[in-house]
Chain A
Amino acid sequence: MINRSVKDGYVYLDTDEAVRLIRNELSNLIYTRIKNMKVYEVPILIKSKADELRKKYSGRYVYRNQFKILEYPPCIKHAMEIINKGENLPHSARFMLATYMLAIGKTEEEVIEIFKNSPDYNEKITRYQVEHLAGKKGSHIKYSVPSCDRLRSEDLCFAVKECENLINPIQFGRRKLT
């Protein structure tokens, strides 16, 4: 929104932006219509295609064994520095750090180890939080690493040149294992 023309509560768009917006709305509309159809039996033709796609794309990427992280992104480095100095991190930074470490394939034990340096470290609380993020407690949803956009608005982003065009810290400094 900050990069658009805003006045009196209206956001003015260029033509191509207007087209993109309508396209997005249309896809939402189609999606909700399909959702609301309440089809009891899916036709075989669609079902077989869907299964094929599901096989191909289902599940989250497991980063371990797929990518090799050559270097931590600057936001993670910065958070690690603060922790290693023995200073407190804000909640949002801890969230980022823990989800990132889990996403690159570290185990919960390893992640808890990182937080041991925090002045307010409490193993019970840290364990609960980390297990929660890993999707083993509470809502059983595995939390993703916050996007670069979100980190920017939380003042956790310390972008360097290599960060250009990334949308999530997880993409930083990785190389596919072949």
Chain B
Amino acid sequence: MNQIEYTNENIKFLKDIFRKYYFENKYFPYLYSIEKREFGYRKFDSLVVRHLSFKNIGELVVELVRNVPLDVYYSNAYYGFPSNPINEKQWEGADLIFDIDIKDLNIPCFHEHTYYICNLCGFVNSEQKLCVNCNKGKTYDISIPCKRCFTAIKKEAAKLLEFLRSDLGIEEKFIEVFFSGNAGFHFHVNDPGMRNLDSNSRSSVTDYIIGNGFMCESIGVRKYRNGFMIKLPKSGIMNGWRKKIASSFGINQKSELKLKHLVEASGGYDGFRNEINRITKKFGVHIDSQVTNDIHRVFRLPGSINGKSGLTKTKCDDLESFNPNNDACWMTLKFTLT
């Protein structure tokens, strides 16, 4: 099959399955302060509805069963008036959310299972360009990650979890991990202490986790005339990123001389800076910083069906054993599309 047909029967068939799913609403995880969230959804005909608000899960389910959306979204932000236009919503805070996506990991096999579908004729193209079938439509991509991809992304997720717990000191009970339903994981941090962080503070946090902008000076290597000098910081190098860098060089608070030799060996200040960039890339986590830094964003609703894959956004209690094709799959059917 290299063409997807958007026939009425096919769409009706899918809609019925979606409706059935939302009718049995036991799949929704608990949403904190649902009445303060903005909701939105995309219909099967790609129409987007936003600025909705619901008093409780029941009201939400009624809406979903009535309109049967393809994708459902909710805001990470809490608003005084969630259904008002964006300038009049009165922002009261937002969950801190991290997004890691398989496509950002540069896994070599990723292209093998990515398909580019024409938005006009439904033709499946092998490359992301103008549709070769109708020469008119633009393509959108759908990827079906393989086992290798999931092993790689789970590693990334474990790294992120470690950052959240030990560096940022976020308690376990505030971290919820969700499989996005397609090719990534969302980490929802519902710590009341983090809720009021503005976009700039969130950007500091994402830079920290990605490993953006570490300066040689913070580990004690400074530019000096035409060369460099060593002066270790008073607050020590045995915590946070300083520790990660220091231990990968095998140095500690007392090894000024060793550090000096290291810098010389890597070709002075600039060479050492490149060396550090290499290490930060290795230890940093590939999160999408724009997702986290946006405090007015809408996210896929936990428990809803991902319209790209048909899998659900599912909570993962144990990352290691999580198998998306099993645990995020609501029903398995054998059928042929007409």
B213–A3 touching, CB < 8 Å: yes
- Most interface-central of B166, B236, B237, B240 (chain A CB within 10 A): B240
User: Is B239 within 8 A of A5, CB to CB?
Assistant: yes
Are A14 and B233 closer than 8 Å at their CB atoms? yes
Closest chain-A Cβ to B98's Cβ sits at a distance in Å of 14
Q: Is the CB of B203 within 8 A of A3?
A: no
In the bound complex, CA of A139 to CA of B210 (Å): 33
What residues of chain A lie closer than 8 Å to B289, measured between beta carbons? 153-154
16 contacts between A and B (CB under 8 A): A1-B205, A1-B207, A2-B213, A2-B240, A4-B218, A5-B233, A5-B236, A5-B237, A5-B240, A5-B242, A8-B169, A9-B168, A9-B169, A13-B235, A92-B290, A150-B203
In the assembled complex, which residues on chain B have CB atoms less than 8 Å from the CB atom of A8? 166-167, 169
Q: How large is the interface on B (under 10, 10 to 19, 20 to 34, 35 or more residues)?
A: 20 to 34
The docked-state distance in angstroms from the alpha carbon of A10 to that of B214 is 18
A139 to B213, CA, bound (A): 33
Check B112 for interface membership: any CB of A closer than 8 A. Answer: no
Contact with A along B163-175 (1 / 0, CB 8 A): 0001111100000
Q: Does B180 contact A (CB under 8 A)?
A: no
What is the minimal beta-carbon distance from B90 to any residue of chain A, in angstroms? Answer: 16
| A92 closest partner in B (C-beta) | B290
A139 with B87: CB separation less than 8 A: yes
- In the complex, whether B208 has a CB less than 8 A from a CB of chain A is yes
Give 3 nearest A-B pairs by CB, closest first: A9-B169, A6-B240, A8-B169
The contact string, 1 if C-beta is below 8 Å from chain A, for chain B 268-311, is 00000000000000000000011001000000000000000000
| Docked CA distance A149–B200 (Å) | 10
Contact B203 A153 (CB under 8 A): yes
Given A3-B213, A153-B289, A154-B290, verify A120-B239 contact (CB < 8 Å). no
CA distance A122 to B152 in the complex (A): 38
The complex places the Cα of A77 from the Cα of B255 at a distance, in Å, of 42
List the B side residues contacting A4 at CB < 8 Å: 218, 235, 240
B217 at the interface (CB under 8 A from A): yes
Known A5-B235, A149-B213; further 9 A-B contacts with Cβ < 8 A: A2-B208, A2-B214, A2-B240, A6-B167, A6-B240, A6-B241, A10-B169, A150-B203, A154-B289
Chain B proximity mask over A1-36: 1 for CB below 8 Å, otherwise 0: 111111111101111000000000000000000000
A63–B9 Cα distance when bound, in Å, is 60
Are A6 and B239 within 8 A (Cβ)?
A: yes
Does A64 sit at the interface, judged by CB under 8 A? no
Residue with the greatest number of chain B CB neighbours at <10 A, chosen from A15, A120, A139, A153: A153
Q: What is the 8 Å Cβ interface bit string for chain B, positions 185-225, against chain A (1 contact, 0 not)?
A: 00000000000000000011111101111110110000000
In the assembly, what is the distance between CA of A12 and CA of B243, in Å? 13
Q: Which residues of A contact B210 (CB under 8 A)?
A: 153
Shortest CB distance A103–B (Å): 20
CB of B138 within 8 A of chain A? yes
Interface flags, A132-162, vs B, CB<8A=1, else 0? 0000000100000000011011100000000
Is the C-beta of B234 less than 8 angstroms from some C-beta in chain A? yes
Q: How far is the CA of A149 from the CA of B232 in the complex (A)?
A: 25
B234-A153 in contact (CB<8A)? no
Assess whether A7 is in contact with B239, with CB atoms less than 8 Å apart. Answer: yes
| Nearest chain A CB to B304 CB, angstrom units | 25
Chain B nearest Cβ from A60, distance in angstroms = 21
Please state if A2 and B211 are interface contacts (CB–CB under 8 Å).
Answer: yes
> Quick one: given A9-B170, A14-B234, A153-B289, are A3 and B217 in contact (CB under 8 Å)?
yes
Chain A residues near B290 (CB-CB < 8 A)? 92, 154
Contacts of B213 in A (CB 8 A): 2-3, 149, 152-153
- Bound CA–CA A1/B214 (angstroms): 9
Docked Cα-Cα span, A152 to B293, in Å, equals: 14
Nearest-neighbour CB distance to chain B for A82, whole angstroms, equals 15
Chain B, residue nearest A16 (CB)? B234
Roughly how many angstroms separate A6 CA and B235 CA in the complex, as a whole number?
10
Instruction: Identify B212's interface contact among A5, A12, A152, CB under 8 A.
Output: A152
CA–CA, A153 and B292, complex, Å: 12
Cβ B212 vs Cβ A153 within 8 A = yes
Given A3-B213, A92-B290, A153-B213, A12 contacting B239 (CB threshold 8 A): yes
